[in-house]
Amino acid sequence: MSSLTSFILLFSLLPYTPLAQDQPAHRRFEYKYSFKGPHVTLPDGTVPFWDKYGDAIASPDEVRLVPSLRHHSGSIWTKQNASFTHWELEVSFRIAGHGRQGAEGLAVWYTKEQGRSGTVYGSADFWDGIGIIFDTNDKDLKENNPAILIVGNNGKLNYDHESDGSSQALDSCIKNFRNTIRPFRAKITYYQRTLRVSVFKGMSPSDDAFELCAEVQNMIIPSSGYFGISAATGILADDHDVLSFLTYSLSRTWEESLTSQIPDSEREKFEKEFEDFQKEMEKNMEDFQKQHPKADEDAFESDNQRELDMVLAGQNRVLEELRVLKGRLKMTVEEQKRYRDFLKDSALNETTTVKKENVSV
Ligand SMILES: [Ca+2]
Ligand SMILES: [Ca+2]
């Protein structure tokens, strides 16, 4: 089985962990609104089904929205607009830099039009839809950043950078997502008119442990929209890299699900289309491996492999420390034994002396 097939299968088989009691019955992976390393790009550098803008650069492993340079911005948007009634996004990104303070931040979007470029974290202001903002720069100096904010806009609101969006946020939470050891993972769910942002708190990538960060009920969003992610730097600089952006459509019942609504002939067409896409990706991977015969293993090293390597390296360190401890313990035991023998000898000598004294008396 190819790695791409296993990747797709993995997503279809993953158990769905509920966040609330009223849960969707069906969750479908939407590959035309998703990307994930190590299959982000085609050989010509484009990301299938996505448009890049500004300083964004895509590689097989990730999309670098902004490099670690001042006053840069970039974004990536789905080519097609989606009209899922309910949906869920799982985004994994890394914001890293040397400064104590973050450079600006990143935002995830669902908007009527593509934001492309602009003054709001690399995307257009006066958007119609929602922005989930990951603000790293504490402009109002209230020491409440990095923060995650949900900001809704009907196309008329001018984003308030001066207050770090706090005057406009419908809900927010303070969370450290910059310079984290592992890439940061967030889940954004729009279901039954409730928008929830939850963040990963698990220990390993195979966990599915998310905790709620922000929630807005009765939220009306455009009936169709583009998904996007953007980032910007200001007078400071940070790298802003997106490792994966996964979209799922959700439905309350199987009958309501998009899969069940598709007529058989259409479904066959979609399946064929998906198969072709899969074949194309596999061919690209083979071509890449042919072109990079030495670096192929590193280039296509999976997340799991990387995880495993880290675990093994950790275990080796623990083993090494145990060896040192064992050595120290042995020395202590020997020292105690020597001391005990010394005491025993001293006691014997004393007895002898006492006996001798007794004899002499
Ligand atoms: Ca602030
Ligand atoms: Ca800010």
Identify the nearest ligand to the CA of 172 by its number: 1
Between 321 and 171, residue with greater pLDDT? 171
Q: What is the DSSP string of 159-204?
A: P-TTTTTTTT-SEEEE---BS-SSPEEEEEEEETTEEEEEEE--SS
**Which residue, among 266, 259, 270, 231, has the nearest Cα to 115 in the 3D structure?**
231
Measure Cα distances from 263 to 140, 180, 317 in Å.
54, 46, 57
Distance of CA 161 from the midpoint of ligand 1 (Å):
9
Identify the nearest ligand to the CA of 136 by its number: 2
Q: Which residues of 110-134 are buried (b: 16+ CB within 10 A; e: fewer)?
A: bbbbbbbbbebbbbbeebbbbbbbb
pLDDT digits (tens, 9 = 90+) for 263-277: 777 778 877 887 887
Distance of CA 160 from the midpoint of ligand 1 (Å):
11
pLDDT at residue 78 greater than cutoff 90:
yes
Cis before 38 (ω within 30): yes
**Taking residues 62-80, what's their average pLDDT?**
98
Please give all residues whose CB falls under 5 A of ion ligand 1, grouped by chain where several chains appear.
138, 140, 142, 144-145, 164
Distance of CA 165 from the midpoint of ligand 1 (Å):
8
Which regions of 226-306 does DSSP assign to beta strands (E)?
A: 226-233, 239-251
**Which residue, among 47, 127, 132, has the nearest Cα to 89 in the 3D structure?**
132
Rounded distance between C-alpha atoms, residue 68 and residue 238, angstroms? 4
- Residue 354, helix vs strand vs coil: helix
% residues pLDDT > 90 (the chain): 61
Rounded distance between C-alpha atoms, residue 44 and residue 64, angstroms? 16
Distance of CA 74 from the midpoint of ligand 1 (Å):
23
Identify the nearest ligand to the CA of 160 by its number: 2
Identify the nearest ligand to the CA of 105 by its number: 2
Distance of CA 137 from the midpoint of ligand 2 (Å):
4
Rounded distance between C-alpha atoms, residue 202 and residue 3, angstroms? 25
Q: What's this model's pTM, rounded to 2 decimal places?
A: 0.70
Which positions ≥6 away from 360 have C-beta within 8 Å?
A: none
Q: 351 pLDDT band (50/70/90 cuts)? A: very low
Name the DSSP letter for residue 269: H
pLDDT digits (tens, 9 = 90+) for 276-288: 877 887 787 788 7
Rounded distance between C-alpha atoms, residue 52 and residue 35, angstroms? 13
Between 41 and 5, residue with greater pLDDT? 41
Backbone angles phi, psi at 30, to 5 degrees: -105, 95
Measure Cα distances from 113 to 73, 92, 116, 129 in Å.
18, 23, 9, 9
Output the pLDDT for position 306: 61
Q: 203 pLDDT band (50/70/90 cuts)? A: confident
Distance of CA 89 from the midpoint of ligand 2 (Å):
23
Distance of CA 102 from the midpoint of ligand 1 (Å):
11
Distance of CA 180 from the midpoint of ligand 2 (Å):
19
Distance of CA 174 from the midpoint of ligand 1 (Å):
10
Output the pLDDT for position 15: 41
Distance of CA 86 from the midpoint of ligand 2 (Å):
30
Identify the nearest ligand to the CA of 141 by its number: 1
pLDDT at residue 51 greater than cutoff 90:
yes
**Taking residues 23-49, what's their average pLDDT?**
94
Rounded distance between C-alpha atoms, residue 8 and residue 19, angstroms? 23
pLDDT at residue 4 greater than cutoff 50:
no
